Amino acid sequence: QKEVEQDPGPLSVPEGAIVSLNCTYSNSAFQYFMWYRQYSRKGPELLMYTYSSGNKEDGRFTAQVDKSSKYISLFIRDSQPSDSATYLCAMTVSTQNAGNMLTFGGGTRLMVKP
């Protein structure tokens, strides 16, 4: 079983829909949680970063962490065709040292149709 599980999709939604992307994980020591967006044939770019449990909002994006359930979510409001990409969750135990590896989910491919 992978340490971080993510539904690969594809997830297809109409423009303007609310999108919910999710990851589950097994390592209860994870404390730092990230979402990356990756456009086709590009490198991932950091979208959201959260520490421990709770919500964080940035424009149309909301990241949610539920450590008791080992479950994280990314919500996209008023989705746009430009949001079409693969979304990767990532997490780590600590950010102290360069060697504190990020563990990535496999990514969910999102398609927003005009």
Partner 1 sequence: NAGVTQTPKFQVLKTGQSMTLQCAQDMNHNSMYWYRQDPGMGLRLIYYSASEGTTDKGEVPNGYNVSRLNKREFSLRLESAAPSQTSVYFCATRGTGRGYGYTFGSGTRLTVV
Residues that bind partner 1 (CB under 8 A): 4, 6, 8, 32, 34, 41-46, 49, 51, 88, 90, 92, 95, 97-99, 101-107
Q: How far is the CB of 17 from partner 1 (least distance, A)?
A: 25
Rounded CA separation 91/49 (Å)? 9
The pair phi, psi for residue 76, each rounded to 5°, is: -120, 120
Mention every residue, 6+ apart, whose C-beta is less than 8 A from residue 42. none
The answer to whether residues 106 and 40 touch, using CB atoms and an 8 Å cutoff, is no
- The residue (of 64 and 107) whose beta carbon lies closer to partner 1 is 107
Rounded CA separation 102/25 (Å)? 13
Q: Distance between alpha carbon 52 and the CA centroid of its chain, in Å?
A: 14
- The residue (of 8 and 81) whose beta carbon lies closer to partner 1 is 8
Q: How far is the CB of 14 from partner 1 (least distance, A)?
A: 26
Q: How far is the CB of 88 from partner 1 (least distance, A)?
A: 6
- The residue (of 79 and 105) whose beta carbon lies closer to partner 1 is 105
Rounded CA separation 45/65 (Å)? 20
Q: How far is the CB of 15 from partner 1 (least distance, A)?
A: 27
- The residue (of 79 and 90) whose beta carbon lies closer to partner 1 is 90
